[in-house]
Amino acid sequence: MAKTHLDIRPDAVAGTVDRRLFGSFVEHLGRCVYSGIYEPGHPSADALGFRGDVLELVRELGVTTIRYPGGNFVSSYRWEDGVGPLEDRPVRLDVNWHSTETNEFGTDEFMAWCAAAGVEPMMAVNIGTRGSAEALDLLEYCNHGGGTALSDRRRANGAEQPYGVRMWCLGNEMDGPWQVGQMTPEQYGRAALDMARVMRKFDPTLELVACGSSGTSMPTFGEWERVVLEHCFDEVDFISAHAYYDPSDGDLRRFLRSSDDMDRFITTVVGIADEVAASRDSEKRIAISFDEWNVWRMSKPVNPFPEGDDWPVAPHLLEDVYTVADAVVLGSLLITLLRHADRVRAASLAQLVNVIAPIMTAPGGPAWRQTTFYPFALTSALAGGTVLETARPSEHVDAAATFDGDKIVTVFAVNLDADSAHDLTISLGALGNVVGTEVTILTDPNPLATNTADAPNRVTPASGSADVSGADVTIQLPAVSWAAVQVTLE
């Protein structure tokens, strides 16, 4: 059996854990909203139509922020359609996902849902078919106390107090030819600068996210970030990154190394942002909002509509069923985000319910956890304090460690070897001797095992064991596995 060492030093701090790393994403796409988080008439639904079983799972998942309402959806969205009396809201065609949008769920419902879930809202604004005036209107509607037409409209709609949304995304994936209103980097940089300036005139303390590249495969990747930031560097706080990893070709070994791409993505964007800062002789550091990331079988058809049902309401779209291997890859992506915690200050797992999601529902029926639910929930629950800088232990084993500053070190580790188990020895050195351990492992003899409505607990985490010797902890990582190790020190 291969043996691997991970050395941890208390003085090697990579960054602090920003709780916004554990965000997620709700878009008006498929069944994420309708029969996902919102289903009036469901046995668990409250008076507002929010599914109680989903809210319970969202809280267990440990989500901290929710990006809304898109995604591609936002680039032709008129936010005014989704506020006010339900009977007055217009039904629209959503060209982004070739669906019918009833607008039954909109801004006020989303804010009420966030309050019920205990999460922070993160709003995206339409820069595809609209501009700065509409963004300022939405900002005033959400954040102004009262005494104006828009803020009083919110109050009349039932929200007396302003929502106080702090983080705003200036559009979505504007480099993509699939996007309504696709722009060149020069066009987007100028539009984002104008929008950011207008929004800061309302509130200079807002946190604003400029669109970065939609992925490392984009032909303008790198150049997009440079040009956009040359325009709006002074007015934004974040630049976004989006990445999805597709196992559809059946090459398990390639797929298990997906986090290598995410690591290069982050390193490249940080380098470009810092070059722009240097060219301006600025000490400001642009952070990364990795506000779309996940495993996604992108080669599957996006619009598998039955004949004669061209514009359905909340169709079953992108409802990937996740495997143990998918969960291990998701865990490795979380490790990469933690390793870059000095610059990745926010992230959004896309999406939350039904659509490439850790939570699945049946209309009128149960909700259940996918395999990917577990590494996210446990990392959110256990990661805190500072991220300790660690070198990658080996070709097949990757890990990140956090320290609460007192007595708890938590190590998150993956074995990306499809064939063999690995022994991982964690050397805590100057941090002191170990007095207790708690090991949780997610694995299965079949890396393609899944959870379904009929077998919702087929794959669940299990307790593992550790051998302790002084300041060293050794665990066994089965082939294709993810683990969390909590170490209590003297």
Alpha helices in 323-482 (DSSP H): 324-339, 373-382
Return the number of other C-beta atoms located less than 10 Å from residue 344's C-beta.
25
Question: Which residue is catalytic, options 27, 101, 134, 292?
Answer: 292
Give every CB contact of residue 85 below 8 A, 6+ residues apart in sequence. Answer: none
Question: At which residue do the structure tokens 């779309």 appear?
Answer: 292
Q: CA 321 to CA 316: how far, in whole Å?
A: 13
User: In angstroms, rounded to a whole number, what is the distance separating the alpha carbons of residues 143 and 156?
Assistant: 15
Tokens of 193: 């600068």
Please report where in the chains the tokens 């070190």 appear, as a residue. Answer: 409
Instruction: Decide if 292 is catalytic.
Output: yes
Check 109, 140, 173, 207 and give the catalytic one.
Answer: 173
Q: Is 173 a catalytic residue?
A: yes
Residue that is written with structure tokens 């850790």 in the block = 358
Q: Which residue has the tokens 């922020």?
A: 65
The token pair at 469 is 């010797």
Residues facing 72 on adjacent strands: none
149, 24, 153: which is closest to 82 by C-alpha?
A: 153
Residue 389 DSSP one-character state: P
Report the C-alpha gap between 458 and 478 in whole angstroms: 18
Task: From 110, 89, 98, 103, select the one nearest 37 (Cα to Cα).
Answer: 110
Question: Is 479 strand, coil or helix?
Answer: coil
Closest listed residue to residue 228, CA positions, set 243, 210, 214: 210
Q: Write out the DSSP string of 346-368.
A: EEEEE-SBSSS-SEEE-TTS-EE
AA identity, residue 264: R
Give the DSSP H/E element, type plus range, for residue 264: helix 259-279
Token digits of residue 482? 């993810």
Residue tagged 């398990």 (tokens)? 252
Distance CA 276, CA 230 (A): 6
Please give the positions annotated as active site: 173, 292
